[in-house]
Every structure is written in C-alpha cells, then in structure tokens.
Amino acid sequence: MSSVPSQSIKQEPVGEQIKDTLRLAAPVFMSRIGVMALQVVDTAMVGHVAAAELAYLGIGLPPSYWLLMLGMGLLMGAGILTAQANGAGRRKEVGIIWVSAMKHGLIFSVICLILSYFGGDLLLYSGQQPDISAGAGKIMVAFAWGMPAIMISAATGAVMEGIKRPNIAMYMMFLANIVNIGFNWVLVYGNLGFDPMGAEGAMYGSSAARWLSSALFLYVFFKMNDRAAYGLVNLGQIAKSEMAAMGKKIRRIGIPLSVANALEMMAFIAEAAMAGFMGKASLAAFQIVVNVASFFMMGGIGIAAATSVRVGNAVGKGDRQGQWTAGAIGVGCAFVLCGTLGILVFANAAGLIAIFTSDAEIAQLTIGALLVFGSFFAFNSINMVAVTGQRTLGIVWLPLIVGLCTTWVIGFPLAYYLAFSKEMGITGLWLGFSVGAQFSMIFNLWRFHRVAKSRVKAY
C-alpha cells in the first residue's frame, strides 16, 4: 500500500471536495431527520388520546432507544469497511460486509425482542407504578417487533453510504414517515374497524412502517445494475472463513461504538435527571432545548458521516495526504455550516422557543440554555467529525475513553456546580457539559491531525 497514490484526494480542487462532502452529508442529514420525525409524529398523535398514553411512551421508549443505540453502534463499522474497500478497489468485499452486518444486526434484534417481553416486569421491579409498567412494557414489545427492520435498514444504509449512494436511505425514511401517519390513524385512534390502541398502536404502526420501508429498501438494493461488481450476487456461496474474518472486523469497530453510544445515553439520562430535580418547568425547558438541539445536530452528524466515507476511501487507496485532507475539509464544513446554524439559533432563540411553548416561565428558563447550545454548536460538530475520522483510521477505543473522561470528570461536576451551586439552572447544565466537550474536541482534533499525517491503516 503506497502512502501517496497517483491521484491523491489532496490534488482535487477544494471546491469539488466541499461539494462532495455536502452531497454526501445532505441525504444523511435528511434520513436522520426522518428517524426523529417518526417519534415526533407518534408523540403528537398519541398526545391527542390521553395523558396516560404519553406516560407509557415516556417510560417505555428510553430503554428501547438505549438498546437501539447499541445495535446502531454495532453496525456503524459496516460503513467504514465499505468505504475502505471501495477506495481500495476491492468492491466485491461489499457483499461480504453487508451479509456479515445483516447477521449481526438480526441476531441483536432477536435478543432485543426476547428481552422486551420482560420489560414491563423490570420496570415494575424498578419502582414504577403497576399500570405504567404494564403500559410501557407493551410499548417496548411493540417497538422491538420493528427492531429487525431497523437493523436491516441500518446495515443496508451503512453500505450504501460507504459506496457514496446515501439518497436511497433518505427516500426510504420519507416513505416510512408517510406510511406511519396512516398506520397511526388506524391503530392509535381505532379507524377502519380497528379498536383504538393508543400508544401501543403507535409503536406497532411505526414497526409496520419500518418493515415496509426496509423491504422496499432491499428491493431497490438488489436492483442495482452494478450489484455484481459489489459482490451482491451468490451471497450464499461466501466462504465461512471470509464471513468469520469480516465478523471480527465488524465487532472490532462496532463494540466500542456500541459502548460509546450507551455511555452517551447514560450522560443524557443523568442530565435529564438533574433537570428534573429543578422542577417541572425546568424539565419542560430542558426538553425543548433537547428537541431543538437534536434537530440541528443532525447537520453535524451528516458532515461527520460524509467525512467518514471520504477518509475511508483515502485509507483504502493508501492515500495518506488524502485522508488528512478529507478530514480537514470535513472540519471546515462543520465549522462554517454548523457555525452558521449556530448563529441562526442564537439570533432566533425566542422564535424557536415559541414553537414549543407560550408559557413565559418555561420560555425564560429555556432561553439561556438554547443560547449556550448555539454558541458551542460548531465546536461540538467539529468534535463529531474528529471522532468519526479517528474511527475510520482504526482508532476506536481512545475517543471513547476521552469522551468518558471529559463528560464525567469535567462536564458532569461542572454542570452540577453551575446548575445548583451557582443557581444557573438548565443553562448551567448545558454550559457545564458543553465546556467539558470542548476538551474532548481539542484532543480529538489534535489526535486526528497527528494520526492522519503519520500513517495509513485499514481494518
């Protein structure tokens, strides 16, 4: 593997590289927004039934999403491996990567489905009221029936992103959202002869929508004219030794990412718990900031995913200069694009808050935290790009350890101090964790720069 191939990414015009990054990032951004939209629609439609149904969602969804994040982390390696294989010209490996990712995802989803049937009992043992435990347990089961479809779409989508075809996943999520509204209308409210099922019906509707979109995704996937070139034919004839070797690679990348996702969810739960100690108004304000932040952060996630593909292509080519350049372009795009979005949040904070509430007390509590998010948004997005770039270069555990330290050793104590000792409320929470994240950003940016400049290492 040569360190400087004949046509390095670095030799491409900067404008073309920026276009390539944004062309990959935009569909990823839209597909992630689609994932969020499913939950928003479910919550909105269930909210018109009864408060108890919303409570079932509020208790049943967090553990379901925690398991989902574990599975998504496990499959993230498929995109990295695909990008590297595609860049190296080993396109036929894509079929092996896809089959291995599918097997891991489906096995994981079956485990989740089995565990979900014990969810209600676990909630009851944790101290939840019997009626809430029973209702939330049904939510977990209904959600879990859609988990295999989510894993199918995740594995297929990761491979499609790796070969620079992310648009299909975006279209599938758009379809899922349209269908989900129809299923919810039938199952949540009890139309067309069905009994009203409330929150449970919303989850079964979402699961059905996910199965429909994943089936169509597979149909389109296997209708690609060049599927043979990517090894997506005769998949049953893949040697066991090849499958075993690929499985090790996927687990080597995926297990640390699953752990990282789990720890991030735990940090979020801890932050929400601290907001809850401040009262209902503060918790409502915290949730508003989370909703706004989640939407805008999809821009950073899209750029990070696009950067991962471009860095992976360079790694596959043995292009040491190109892998650094691809990362630098990603960092630049994150700074400019997400910085602009952060300014928009900063300038329109009051208007954004008005979308969610007209309560003056909640709005007053929200404004400071939202301004903190807008101020740090670009830097948090740069951190995502730097972390993703490192993972693509073969460094998976170090970013996790750094994130763990900066979150729990710096961010958590500082957030607690500012929120309670300095009486800054949820503004202090967001400021504390944001400051902690900046230490992570500085280290990860330095580490990516150093490693990308010094070596080329494919999985």
Q: What is the DSSP string of 410-456?
A: IIHHHHHIIIIIS--HHHHHHHHHHHHHHHHHHHHHHHHHHHHHH--
Q: Using H for helix, E for strand and C for coil, what is the string for 34-65?
A: HHHHHHHHHHHHHCCCCHHHHHHHHHHHHHHH
Q: What is the pLDDT of residue 10?
A: 74
Burial class (CB in 10 A: 0-12, 13-18, 19+), 236: exposed
Burial class (CB in 10 A: 0-12, 13-18, 19+), 335: middle
Q: Work out the average pLDDT over 18-26.
A: 92
Give yes or no for a contact between 388 and 257, defined as CB atoms under 8 angstroms apart: no
Q: Which of 122-126, 313-317, 388-392, 422-426 has the lowest mean pLDDT?
A: 122-126
Q: Is the pLDDT of residue 439 over 50?
A: yes
Q: Is the pLDDT of residue 5 over 60?
A: no
Residue % of the chain over a pLDDT of 70: 97
Q: Which of 62-66, 70-74, 150-154, 247-251 has the lowest mean pLDDT?
A: 62-66
User: Any residues with CB less than 8 A from the CB of 142 and at least 6 apart, and which?
Assistant: 200, 203, 204, 207
Q: What is the pLDDT of residue 293?
A: 87
Task: Report d(CA 120, CA 401) in Å as an integer.
Answer: 33
Q: Work out the average pLDDT over 159-184.
A: 93
Tokens representing residue 151 in the block: 């894993």
Q: What is the pLDDT of residue 459?
A: 66
Q: Is the pLDDT of residue 6 over 60?
A: no
N residues, the chain: 459
Q: What is the pLDDT of residue 280?
A: 76
Q: What's the predicted TM-score (pTM) here?
A: 0.86
Confidence label for 2 from pLDDT (cuts 50, 70 and 90): very low
Half-sphere exposure of 181 (CA within 13 A, CB side): 9
Q: Is the pLDDT of residue 178 over 60?
A: yes
Tokens 């989640």, residue located: 294
DSSP state letters, 324-384: HHHHHHHHHHIIIIIHHHHHHHHHTHHHHHHHH---HHHHHHHHHHHHHHHHHHHHHHHHH
Q: What is the pLDDT of residue 3?
A: 43
Q: What is the pLDDT of residue 1?
A: 43
User: Any residues with CB less than 8 A from the CB of 166 and at least 6 apart, and which?
Assistant: 24, 27, 28, 31, 157, 160, 305
Q: What is the pLDDT of residue 357?
A: 79
Q: What is the pLDDT of residue 93?
A: 94
Give yes or no for a contact between 303 and 342, defined as CB atoms under 8 angstroms apart: no
Q: Work out the average pLDDT over 248-254.
A: 93
Tokens representing residue 9 in the block: 């990414």
Q: What is the pLDDT of residue 359?
A: 82
Q: Which is more confident, 51 or 75?
A: 75
